[in-house]
Amino acid sequence: MSASTKALHECGQSLWLDNITRGMLDDGTLARYVRDFHVTGLTSNPSIYNAAVKNTSFYDAAIATKVRSGLSGERLFFELAIEDLTRAADLFRPVHDRTGGLDGWVSLEVSPTLAYDTASTLAAAKDLFARANRPNLYIKIPGTPEGLPAIEEAIFAGVPVNVTLLFTREHYLAAAEAYLRGVERRVEAGLPPRVCSVASLFISRWDGATAAKLPAHLANRLGIAIGQQSYKAYRDLLCSDRFERLCNFGAVPQRLLYASTGTKDPNASDTLYIGSLASPNTVNTMPEPTLLAFADHGDVTATLSAGGGDCDRTLFAIERAGTDVVAVGAKLQKDGAEAFVKSWNELLEVIEKKSRAVAAVA
């Protein structure tokens, strides 16, 4: 077992894997990560599945079977993904039960083409959650302006939500507001308020987007500062009268989740965003290479301050150096949504190509 991942786990942060393939389910790799590296959950997205289907043969036989049964395109993909994620959910179910539903989750994203379509996002979220039929499966909904009403309605409908594509403190607070409104409406309607959620804040893309614009002494500090700033907002919300009132009815916190925590800069530590964002009552979902690196040589020397540490000073220095943090955050969300659509379209093209190959030999 890894002492590094154990230390992170014991500080109160959940370690999730930001990856899934049918191969790691079949060969026991995921089960080994659970056993040896304290992994207690898993996330997926269109880019992950695009790589898994395109670059491996893990899905070829299943695609062939589904094509022969009349499935194609988006419907075929979600059948594949639900098969994988229900298996992963069952693997994490003991953690989910042991933690009263706060941990042990897997995540499935609605089609990223719906990022700016509220009604269709909500309909897809309800459909996918019902089809998966697992209590520990989050539906990922983007925290775009159009996604926020769908998040509120999904929570009100009892659908657990992983809010994705959050980049700024303000994005996080908007997602938290949507979650709270959904829970408050459940209380008013006499429904159980315990509907779980996480809010996924993307970290490393900040530094990738600003690397060429910042002086050396500010390199690779913006993503961590945004994480610190958002963590302060998160802790302040947990102490608010509004949230404590909901706790009296049995509500649970929407946990802050650090996403995109693989280091992009080859000159920086490959565990930069793991040790730097260690913080109680949060989640860090990390790419497989980052998990392996941290398990091997990671270190937890301190946890984030509930007051945000030196984030204000860092952000002030970055703004003075000529970076408009608000503008960069807005662009990152827009670019992130577009990148997921690109991966989604490529994924469907790969499935279509493999489907045609099956038809040709039928």
Residues designated catalytic: 140
CA distance 128 to 25: 21
Q: Which of 243, 255, 270, 271 is nearest to 163 (CA)?
A: 255
Single out the residue of 285, 290, 295 nearest to residue 92, CA to CA. 285
CA distance 177 to 186: 14
Write out the two tokens for 309. Answer: 């540490």
**CA-to-CA dists, residue 59 to 82, 130, 159, 207, 340, angstroms:** 13, 23, 28, 34, 20
The sign of the CA dihedral 75, 79, 80, 85 is: positive
Residues 6+ apart with CB under 8 A from 320: none
Q: Are 348 and 74 in contact (CB under 8 A)?
A: yes
Residue 284's φ and ψ, nearest 5 degrees, are -125, 115
Q: Specify which residues 15 forms β-bridges with.
A: 39, 284
Transcribe 134-202 into DSSP letters.
-TTEEEEEE-STTHHHHHHHHHHTT--EEEEEE-SHHHHHHHHHHHHHHHHHHHHTT------EEEEEE
Amino acid at 8: L
Residue 259 main-chain phi, psi, to 5 deg: -115, 170
Q: Which residues pair with 166 in a beta bridge?
A: 201
User: Measured between alpha carbons, how far is 120 from 337 in angstroms, rounded to an integer?
Assistant: 16
Q: Are 158 and 126 in contact (CB under 8 A)?
A: no
- CB of 337 closer than 8 Å to CB of 115: yes
At 271, list the tokens: 């565990």
